[in-house]
Structures are given as C-alpha cells and as structure tokens.
C-alpha cells in the first residue's frame, strides 16, 4: 500500500546554474579537494541547518498570524529563505560535476532538494534530468513520486507530454514502468479512465513488486471504486472486538474514514466529524474509521484524549490494513461517502461542506 506521509522536489536552472557556477569560480571553492559526492554531502548538512532555520521562521509566522489569515496553507517561502542560497550552491556543484562519474548522483540529489525548496519548478527540472541521465535507475524512484507534487506546477499536460517522451527514449524496464505508473496517476486525476487503465497496465509488469502491486491497486480503483459504483464489502473488527461489515450498515449513509494517529491532517479533521455527528443526530448516518496505525496502543491513547466519533476499527496488519488495501488508500486521510444502498457517492468530500454533502446523500435519489 502506498500511504504517503511526506514528499520532496527541482528546475529553471540551465541559465541559473551556469550563472551561479561562474560567480562561484571567483570565490574560494569549498569542494576543491574532495569528490562531488563528498561535496554534496557537506552541502546537505548545510541544507539541513537552513531547513531548521526556515522551520523556526515558519513557526514564528504561524504564532503571530491569526489562523483565519493564514489560509489553508502557510506561505511556501519567505523573502530571505535561507534554503535558496544553499540550493544555488548545489546547482553550481551539479553543473561542475555534470561530466564526472558522480554527476548523476549529484543531479538526483539536487532534484530532490529543489523539490522541497522550489516545487513549482519541478517539470522543467525533470525534463533536464531525464534528458541528461535517461537510463539512471534512480529515475524510477523519482518518477513514482511525481504524482504527489506535479499538482503544484499546475501543468498536467506538460507532465503528460514529458513523460510520454521519456517513455520513448528510456530503454530500462524499471524506468519505463515508473513513467507509465506516473502517467496513470495523472490521467486518473483528470478522470481519463481509459488512458489511466492503459498506463497502469503497462506499469504492472514492473520488476519492482511494490510498483507492480500499486499499479494493480489503481486498476482495481478504476474498475470498482468510482463514484456511482457499489462499494466493495468488507468485514473488520472494532477496538472492543465486535465484528462490523459494510453490508451490516446497509440502510445508513456511511462515511468511511481511513486515518492514522501519526497523520496531523487526519487528527485535524476530528472536529468536522464530531460536528457532523452532532448535527445529524437521529439520522441514518454512521462513521466507520479505519486506522492504519501499526500499534493498537497508539490509537487507544489518542482516542482517550480526542473523542473521535463513530465505529473505530483497527487491524493487526497496521499499515497494510486489508480494508485500506481493498479501497486502494495511498494518502491520508481518505474518505469515501457511501449511500444507504451501498453505492459510492463521493470520494474525499470537502470537510467544510461535510454536513450538507451528507444531507444530500441522505435524501432519496430520484
């Protein structure tokens, strides 16, 4: 199962890197007596310190700014983001080591850090990386992560074009399958189910068992987990050991909530769930929360403090919870809203509009 906790990301640097490198040539070069890998490791240590400095600035901003003014997410960067200067050094090192044996390793490292600092530049950075090192095995890992940050670039068509071009030039099965998997994710986001199915079918022959399994999970999602389809039945157990199945709740609207105690957004949605239960009291509505926590104790401890409503279920398989596997859960929280007839009506409904969405689902269908 591919439950995402955090991701990283890179580009506009052909000119920027060269300019940074030329400027650097006029200064003492900190990596003159070391190899590119060692030099990059030093810059990563410097970046870690810059990350800490940035985190402190972000924390200070959040403490000074009223929650209503912060919006859904805090500003992505500050005027003097200390990470940018370190990233420029990394890019200069990448340019200087491009034709060395360590060039690919440094380039991939820079790509990942740039995704953290400047995620909006991911597409052009990927295009350069894929063009320079199309057969690098590390590209398969990068490609598998693309779906989690491509949305920040706002250019799905550009990603589709770049990935299709890359599939034509790479000769490695693992990178070809990874590119196909990523294309499938983007097509699925765009509701292009035929294109998504074709891409995932190409990805499921991957030598990487995890990627092949993930591709099969998305093929199942396309065929069985779309809005308007019957929700797959399951049987699991609540924390007090009682058996519960989706079929046993037929006649009620069910909000299926996949979550974990280590997921801050999941815990942050508890007030919305509490509000929904309070406002819909007496209505045929039930919340079934499926925890993917590895430890039962972690779930019990949090529930003793935060009174999450509904049926709380847990399985000893933890992160490979069979209900989460069945519903192809790859990010948290994931919500499925299922009507009284057992049909999927919404996936990930807006928490701010949860009550009216449930009320609309409670209304008889024409």
pLDDT at 12 exceeding the cut of 90: no
Query: Is there a single domain that holds both residue 151 and residue 45?
Result: yes
Domain at 146, CATH number: 1.25.40
Residue 70 lies in a domain: no
Query: Is there a single domain that holds both residue 243 and residue 313?
Result: yes
Query: What's the confidence (pLDDT) of residue 66?
Result: 58
Residue 297 lies in a domain: yes
pLDDT at 16 exceeding the cut of 50: no
Q: Among 80-89, 97-106, 267-276, which range has the highest average pLDDT?
A: 267-276
Query: pLDDT by residue (tens digit) across 112-170?
Result: 888 888 888 888 888 888 888 888 777 877 787 777 667 766 688 999 999 999 999 98
Query: Is there a single domain that holds both residue 143 and residue 263?
Result: no
Query: What's the confidence (pLDDT) of residue 28?
Result: 41
Q: Which of 196, 224, 252 is the last residue of a domain?
A: 224
For range 349-355, the mean pLDDT: 96
Q: Give the 3-state DSSP-derived string for the chain, with helices as H, strands as E and coil as C.
A: CCCECCCCCCCCHHHHHHHHHHHHHCCCCCCCCCCHHHHHHHHHHHHHHHHHHHHHHHHHHHHHCCHHHHCCCCCCCCCCCHHHHHHHHHHHHHHHCCCCCCHHHHHHHHHHHHHHHCHHHHHHHHHHHHHHCCCCCHHHHHHHHHHHCHHHHCCHHHHHHHHHHHHHHCCCHHHHHHHHHHHHHHHHHCCCHHHHHHHHHHHCCCCCHHHHHHHHHHHHHHHHCCCCCECCCCEEEECCCCEEECHHHCCCEEEEEEECCCCHHHHHCHHHHHHHHHHCCCCCEEEEEEECCCCHHHHHHHHHHCCCCCEEEECCCHHHCHHHHHCCCCECCEEEEECCCCEEEEECCCHHHHHHHHHHHHCCCC
Query: Is there a single domain that holds both residue 96 and residue 138?
Result: yes
Domain span at 278: 235-362
Average pLDDT, the chain: 85
Q: Which of 194, 224, 254 is the last residue of a domain?
A: 224
Query: Is there a single domain that holds both residue 217 and residue 252?
Result: no
Query: Is there a single domain that holds both residue 256 and residue 210?
Result: no
Query: Is there a single domain that holds both residue 125 and residue 96?
Result: yes
Give the pLDDT band of residue 71 (cuts 50, 70, 90): very low
Query: Is there a single domain that holds both residue 53 and residue 129?
Result: yes
Give the pLDDT band of residue 85 (cuts 50, 70, 90): very high
Query: pLDDT by residue (tens digit) across 35-50?
Result: 899 999 999 999 999 9
Query: Is there a single domain that holds both residue 18 and residue 159?
Result: yes
Query: Is there a single domain that holds both residue 146 and residue 294?
Result: no
Query: pLDDT by residue (tens digit) across 212-230?
Result: 999 999 999 999 999 999 9
Q: Which of 174, 194, 224 is the last residue of a domain?
A: 224
Query: Is there a single domain that holds both residue 243 and residue 202?
Result: no
Query: pLDDT by residue (tens digit) across 319-340?
Result: 999 999 999 999 999 999 999 9
Query: Is there a single domain that holds both residue 34 and residue 164?
Result: yes
- Number of structural domains the chain divides into: 2
């Amino acid at each position: 199962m591919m439950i995402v906790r955090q991701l990283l990301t890179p580009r506009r640097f052909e000119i920027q890197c060269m300019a940074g490198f030329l400027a650097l040539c006029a200064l003492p070069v900190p990596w003159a007596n070391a190899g590119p890998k060692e030099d990059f490791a030093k810059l990563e240590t410097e970046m870690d310190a810059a990350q800490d400095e940035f985190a402190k600035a972000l924390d200070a901003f959040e403490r000074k700014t009223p929650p209503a003014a912060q919006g859904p997410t805090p500003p992505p960067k500050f005027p003097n983001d200390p990470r940018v200067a370190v990233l420029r050094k990394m890019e200069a090192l990448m340019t200087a080591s491009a034709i060395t044996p360590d060039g690919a390793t440094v380039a991939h490292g820079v790509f990942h850090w740039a995704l953290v600092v400047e995620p909006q530049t991911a597409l052009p950075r990927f295009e350069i990386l894929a063009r320079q090192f199309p057969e690098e095995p590390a590209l398969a890992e990068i490609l598998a992560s693309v779906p989690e940050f491509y949305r920040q670039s706002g250019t799905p068509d550009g990603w589709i074009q770049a990935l299709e071009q890359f599939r034509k030039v790479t000769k490695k099965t693992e990178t070809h399958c990874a590119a196909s998997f990523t294309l499938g994710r983007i097509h699925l986001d765009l509701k292009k189910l035929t294109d998504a199915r074709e891409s995932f079918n190409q990805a499921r022959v991957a030598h990487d068992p995890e990627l092949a399994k993930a591709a099969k999970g998305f093929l199942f999602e396309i065929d069985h987990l779309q809005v308007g389809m019957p929700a797959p039945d399951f049987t699991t157990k609540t924390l007090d050991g009682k058996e519960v199945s989706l079929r046993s709740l037929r006649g009620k609207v069910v909000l299926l909530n996949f979550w974990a105690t280590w997921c801050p957004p999941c815990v942050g949605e508890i007030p919305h769930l509490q509000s929904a239960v309070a406002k819909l009291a007496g209505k045929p509505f039930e919340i079934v929360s499926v925890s993917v926590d590895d430890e039962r104790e972690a779930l019990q401890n949090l529930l003793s403090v935060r009174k999450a409503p509904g049926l709380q279920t847990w399985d000893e398989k933890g992160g490979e919870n069979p209900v989460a596997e069945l519903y192809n859960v790859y990010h948290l929280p994931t919500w499925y809203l299922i009507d009284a007839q057992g049909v999927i009506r919404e996936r990930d409904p807006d928490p701010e509009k949860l009550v009216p969405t449930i009320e609309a689902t409670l209304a008889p269908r024409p």
